[in-house]
Amino acid sequence: MAHLTLSQVGISFTRGGKTSEVLREVDLTIAKGEFVSIIGHSGCGKSTVLNIVAGLLKASTGGVLLDGKEVNAPGPDRAVVFQNHSLLPWLTVRENVALAVDKVFRGRKSRAERTEWIEHNLALVNMMHAADKRPPEISGGMKQRVGIARALAMEPKVLLMDEPFGALDALTRAHLQDSIMEIQMRLKNTVIMITHDVDEAVLLSDRIVMMTNGPSATIGEILTVPLKRPRRRLDLVEDATYVHARAAVLEFLYARHAQPAVLAA
């Protein structure tokens, strides 16, 4: 059943009297519990797609349906993990999560239940030991984990992640990818994740959405990754399905839709 539907989504920005079409006729249907990655060259409009689903941007044409209801404003049912973590630096780790939990569950959970829920989500991303530190005092990987905890704590119908591991070193990145896979297996979240990283896309996703280059970018191809879960990165290195999927994405990105030379510079 269609959980989240993007139909004929297009968007244009007008700046200084000049209108540029960034997205055109993006059609995508995502089932409940599915993990979908969006991959494409820089500047093609991946973040724009995500922001439209989040409700932070308004589509010029077409629209987004979540469980049959049109999306027209941001809300906690579509929690976002932002690329640069976006934690509030004057709040501790715990307070950052609490700000969201207290707002989203006010009236639905008692104070004690909310406190427990905050702790639960911090424990989920292994951040209890630094719960009372402030963002400037913790590492980039830890900040990203707190951002994930904050988003998960909202119990979103769809979890939106904009290059959640983009700014991290390879080891931390691998570690967090494993955490995300493990959490997603347990909670069965529907996830849309933007990434630049082909291996990350193949490892984590049920389907990979590959976008053409802008302007007027759209979905070029959708690849299903038929790998069983749980997935272990070491087992996959020589797995035929994995290697095949990886090759297909690379072929799309670098052979058929190579980044225009101007942009590559």
Partner 1 sequence: MASSSALALGTAGRDTASVKSRGPIITMKGIKGVAARVIPPLVVLAVFMLLWEMLCSSPTAGLPPPSRVVTEAWDVIAHPFYDNGGTDKGLFWHLAASLQRVALGFSLAVIAGVMLGTLVGQSEWAMRGLDPIFQVLRTIPPLAWLPLSLAAFRDGQPSAIFVIFITSIWPIIINTAVGIRNIPQDYRNVSAVIRLNPIEFFWKIMLPSAAPYIFTGLRIGVGLSWLAIVAAEMLIGGVGIGFFIWDAWNSSHISEIIVALVYVGLIGFVLDRLVAGVGSLVTRGTSAA
Ligand X SMILES: Nc1ncnc2c1ncn2[C@@H]1O[C@H](COP(=O)(O)OP(=O)(O)OP(=O)(O)O)[C@@H](O)[C@H]1O
Interface with ligand X (CB under 6 A):
13, 15, 22, 40, 42-48, 214
Cα end-to-end span (Å), the chain? 43
Q: 21 in helix, strand or coil?
A: strand
- Candidate ranges 33-41, 97-105, 208-216, 251-259; the one touching partner 1 (CB under 8 A): 97-105
What lies within 8 Å, CB to CB, of 130 at 6+ separation is 93, 137, 138, 142
Which of 2, 88, 185, 247 is in the footprint of partner 1 by CB under 8 A? 88
Q: Does 114 bind partner 1 (CB under 8 A)?
A: no
Half-sphere exposure of 163 (CA within 13 A, CB side): 17
What lies within 8 Å, CB to CB, of 37 at 6+ separation is 192, 193, 194, 195, 200, 201, 204, 205, 207, 208, 209
Query: What angle do helix axes 93-104 and 111-124 make, rounded to 10 degrees?
Result: 130
Quick one: what does residue 75 bind among partner 1, ligand X, Mg ion, none, with the CB cut-off 5 to 8 Å set by partner type?
Answer: partner 1
- Candidate ranges 41-49, 82-90, 199-207, 248-256; the one touching partner 1 (CB under 8 A): 82-90
What is the DSSP secondary structure assignment for residue 260, as one 8-state letter? P
Quick one: what does residue 22 bind among Mg ion, ligand X, partner 1, none, with the CB cut-off 5 to 8 Å set by partner type?
Answer: ligand X
Least distance (Å) between residue 222 CB and ligand X: 17
- Please say which residue, 47 or 92, places its beta carbon nearer to Mg ion: 47
Taking alpha carbons only, the member of 140, 144, 131, 121 closest to residue 91 is 131
Q: Does 11 bind partner 1 (CB under 8 A)?
A: no
Least distance (Å) between residue 247 CB and partner 1: 36
Report the site for partner 1 in 25-64 (rule: CB under 8 A). Answer: 54-56
Q: Does 47 bind Mg ion (CB under 5 A)?
A: yes
Q: Does 74 bind partner 1 (CB under 8 A)?
A: yes
Which pair of structure tokens corresponds to residue 116?
A: 């427990």
Report the site for partner 1 in 120-179 (rule: CB under 8 A). Answer: 134, 136, 154
Least distance (Å) between residue 167 CB and partner 1: 13
Which pair of structure tokens corresponds to residue 245?
A: 């999927």
Quick one: what does residue 45 bind among ligand X, partner 1, Mg ion, none, with the CB cut-off 5 to 8 Å set by partner type?
Answer: ligand X
Least distance (Å) between residue 246 CB and partner 1: 32
Which pair of structure tokens corresponds to residue 68?
A: 């049959």
What lies within 8 Å, CB to CB, of 19 at 6+ separation is 12, 13
- Please say which residue, 75 or 140, places its beta carbon nearer to partner 1: 75
Taking alpha carbons only, the member of 85, 70, 71 closest to residue 125 is 85
Query: Which positions touch partner 1 (CB under 8 A)?
Result: 54-56, 73-76, 78-80, 82, 84, 86, 88-90, 99-100, 103-104, 134, 136, 154
